[in-house]
Amino acid sequence: MVKYGLLCAALVGCLALSLVPQAAHAEEGGFAHESALQIRAIPIGLSLFSTTGYGWSLWDSPDSDLLTGTKLEVGAATSLSPAFAWGGPYVTFVPAAVLPIKASAQVMGYFGNFGYLHVPDDGDWSLEELDRSDDEGLGVGARGTLIHLQATPRLRIDRIVFTAETNAYWINMDVEGEYYEPYFDLLFEPSDFFFITRPTLGYLIGPDLSRWYLLLGLRWERTMTRDTNLTRDIAGLVFAWKVPETLLAFGDPTLAGFMGVNTQHPNRDQFFPYVGIQALFQF
Q: pLDDT tens for residues 91-114? A: 999 998 889 999 999 999 999 999
Q: pLDDT tens for residues 235-282? A: 999 999 999 888 877 778 999 999 999 999 998 888 888 999 999 988
Determine the number of helices (DSSP H) and then strands (DSSP E) in the chain. Answer: 2, 17
Number of domains in the chain: 1
pLDDT at 23 over 50: no
DSSP state of 210: T
Query: The CATH number of the domain where 218 resides is what?
Result: 2.40.160.40
What is the structure's pLDDT at 16?
36
Q: pLDDT tens for residues 160-182? A: 999 999 999 999 999 989 999 99
What is the structure's pLDDT at 61?
66
Contacts of residue 229, defined as CB under 8 A and 6 or more positions apart, other chains included, come to none
pLDDT at 70 over 50: yes
Has this prediction a pTM greater than 0.75? Answer: yes
Across residues 208-234, what is the average pLDDT?
Answer: 94
Domain of residue 112 covers: 4-282
CA dihedral 66, 221, 223, 106 (to 10 degrees): 50
Which has more pLDDT, 248 or 233?
233
